[in-house]
Amino acid sequence: MASRNRNRLAVLFLVLGAAPLGAQAPAPVRLSFAEAVRRAAGEAPAVELAGLRTDEATARVRQARGALLPSLSFAAGWLNRDFNSKAQGISFPGVPTIIGPFNAYDARFRVSQTLLDFSGLARVRAARAQVTGATAEGSAVSEGAAAGAALAYLRVARAGAQVVARQADSAVAADLVGLAQAQKNAGVSAAIDVTRARTQLVSAVGALLVARNQFDRARLDLARALGIDPRTPIEITDTLTAALPMADVPARADSLVAMALARRPDLSAELARGEAARTAQSAISAERLPRLDVAADYGVSGLTPSTSVGTRQIGVQVSIPILDGFRREGRAAEQSAVARESEVRARDLRQQIAADVDGAVLDLASAQAQLVMSAERLRLAAEEMAQARERFAAGVAGNIEVINAQASLLRARDTDIDARFAAATARVALARAAGLARTLH
User: Could you tell me the CATH number of the domain that includes residue 263?
Assistant: 1.20.1600.10
Contact of 154 with 73, CB cutoff 8 Å = no
| pLDDT, position 231 | 87
- Whether 78 maps to a domain, the answer reads no
- Whether 419 maps to a domain, the answer reads yes
**pTM for the predicted model, two decimal places:** 0.83
Which has the closest alpha carbon to 204: 18, 8, 55, 410? 410
| pLDDT, position 296 | 94
| pLDDT, position 26 | 62
- Separation CA 267–CA 245 (nearest Å): 24
Number of structural domains found in the chain? 1
Q: What are the pLDDT tens digits along the chain (441 aa)? A: 444 444 444 444 444 444 444 445 567 789 999 999 999 999 889 999 999 999 999 999 999 999 899 999 999 999 988 878 788 787 787 778 888 888 889 999 999 999 988 888 988 998 998 899 999 999 999 999 999 999 999 999 999 999 999 999 999 899 888 888 888 888 777 888 888 889 888 999 999 999 999 999 999 999 999 988 888 888 999 988 867 788 887 777 788 899 999 999 999 999 999 998 999 898 888 888 899 999 999 999 988 888 889 899 999 999 888 888 888 889 899 999 999 999 999 999 999 999 999 999 999 999 999 999 999 999 999 999 989 888 888 877 777 888 889 889 999 999 999 999 999 999 999 999 999 999 888
**Which residue segment(s) compose the domain that 146 sits in?**
27-69+117-287+328-439
- Separation CA 330–CA 408 (nearest Å): 71
- Separation CA 419–CA 375 (nearest Å): 9
- Whether 380 maps to a domain, the answer reads yes
| pLDDT, position 298 | 94
Contact of 436 with 29, CB cutoff 8 Å = no
- Whether 298 maps to a domain, the answer reads no
| pLDDT, position 418 | 94
- Whether 421 maps to a domain, the answer reads yes
- Whether 22 maps to a domain, the answer reads no
Contact of 63 with 127, CB cutoff 8 Å = yes
- Whether 81 maps to a domain, the answer reads no
Which residues lie closer than 8 Å to 102 by C-beta, 6 or more apart? 80, 81, 82, 303
| pLDDT, position 24 | 58
| pLDDT, position 233 | 87
- Whether 265 maps to a domain, the answer reads yes
| pLDDT, position 25 | 58
